[in-house]
């Protein structure tokens, strides 16, 4: 599961190092849970990955950077 989360965040950041999240930052737990649920039946399609990316970006008010 950690491999999928790392891959997901690497895709989001274009391979750049992901910014540090505090231990109590709920966004990290929420993103990890979403990625886990989304990958329960296998690897995400490109369309599903884009949809999850858009959901996280919208919900957490993140920009592309």
Q: Residue 61 above 80 pLDDT?
A: no
- Residue 43 has what DSSP assignment? P
How many domains, in total, are found in the chain?
1
Residue 52: inside a domain:
yes
Within-domain flag for 65:
no
Question: Does pLDDT of 45 surpass 70?
Answer: yes
Residue 26: inside a domain, yes or no?
Answer: yes
Which residue range(s) make up the domain with 44? 2-59
35 domain residue, yes or no = yes
In this predicted structure, what is the pLDDT of residue 20? 60
| pTM of the complete model beyond 0.75 | no
Per-chain mean pLDDT for the chain? 76
Rg (CA), the chain: 11
Which residues lie below 8 Å from residue 38, measured CB to CB, with a gap of 6+? 44, 48, 52
């Amino acid at each position: 599961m950690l491999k999928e989360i790392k891959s997901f965040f690497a895709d989001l950041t274009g391979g750049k190092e992901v910014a540090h999240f505090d231990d109590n930052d709920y966004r990290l737990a929420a993103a990890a849970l979403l990625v886990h649920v989304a990958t329960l039946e296998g690897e995400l399609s490109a369309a599903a990955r884009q949809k999850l990316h858009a959901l996280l970006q919208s919900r957490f008010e993140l920009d592309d950077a």
